[in-house]
Copies of this chain bind each other. A is one copy, B any other.
């Protein structure tokens, strides 16, 4: 067994926003257990960000540690969020089979949750190891979390079912743990899409010494994401796949798989009701190219999330 460790921080105003009030209809059950307060989503998301890294390694989650940054005079808030099931960490931890084994509390200028997650894998996947010719498979959808954030910031109240799913994708993302574990024996490399497809695919290509061609029509996007992409393109002339290519925080799982093993992996995923979208393949060129049908498309202006902006 190999020990796999990852750390990721979620900060108020950056990765979550305690000032967000959740749209009506998401405020109470039966909206998939989503609680009334945005605070109860912060811990879920912080843990999910870390679990998504374990998923990309094909690791089984075991233990995590959580360092809290707490603003001065926030003791009341702290009690409230602790009461609200540890910022929402508890239900995701339980569901994922990961145990809290340590932590820290420090006074800080803003709320933050810095989590380190530990897992075990027999043959851990990494960004390195993929070859030209490998298929690119994606488990999960693109652009939903970024649209969800936009809806929250606009304080949108009348949401379609699909838009609500986007808000849930932003607040309580689902790490693709099962897909990662299933893929580990088949895939040559993997990465989770936290900063946008193009940016994270770029990391995988760089570490594996390859390039990629993406079939944009194959990118999995919900109807709400397709609709705003079409509207954006019409009104501002933006790239027709800008949100699917560059939207962050989807925590979808990108897999590079040698052609000979791709069919087997897809059926193994299907057997667990998981769908893998074939979105392109790796190339020798060391560049990322986009195509739609037979047509080459330019890259969008913005590739993804910059951690320091």
Interface residues of A (CB under 8 A from B): 3, 5-9, 11, 13-15, 63, 65-67, 69-70, 72, 74-75, 78, 101-110, 112, 114, 116, 118, 307-309
Q: By CB atoms of chain B within 10 A, which of A11, A15, A108 has the most?
A: A108
Q: Pick the contact of A104: B9, B75, B109 (CB < 8 A).
A: B9
- Are A108 and B6 CB-contacts (below 8 A) given A65-B116, A67-B114, A114-B67? no
Q: Pick the contact of A118: B5, B8, B13, B69 (CB < 8 A).
A: B5
A50, chain B: closest CB distance, angstroms: 9
- Whether B9 lies near A69 (C-beta < 8 A) is yes
Q: How many identical subunits does the complex contain?
A: 2
Cα of A77 to Cα of B58 in the assembled complex, Å: 36
> In terms of DSSP, what is the predominant structure of the interface of chain A?
strand
Q: Pick the contact of A101: B5, B106, B307 (CB < 8 A).
A: B5
A61, chain B: closest CB distance, angstroms: 14
A220, chain B: closest CB distance, angstroms: 27
Q: Which residue of B lies closest to A105 (CB)?
A: B307
Q: By CB atoms of chain B within 10 A, which of A11, A13, A103, A308 has the most?
A: A308
A98, chain B: closest CB distance, angstroms: 13
A11, chain B: closest CB distance, angstroms: 6
Q: Which residue of B lies closest to A6 (CB)?
A: B102
B residues less than 8 Å from A63 (CB atoms)? 5
- Are A11 and B106 CB-contacts (below 8 A) given A3-B3, A5-B118, A70-B308? yes
Q: Pick the contact of A107: B70, B103, B116, B307 (CB < 8 A).
A: B307
Cα of A74 to Cα of B109 in the assembled complex, Å: 16
Q: Which residue of B lies closest to A49 (CB)?
A: B104
Q: Pick the contact of A67: B8, B78, B109, B110 (CB < 8 A).
A: B8
Selected A-B contacts with CB under 8 Å, 16 pairs: A5-B102, A5-B116, A7-B65, A8-B67, A11-B69, A11-B107, A14-B106, A14-B107, A70-B308, A105-B307, A105-B308, A106-B307, A107-B307, A108-B109, A108-B110, A112-B112
B residues less than 8 Å from A11 (CB atoms)? 69, 106-108
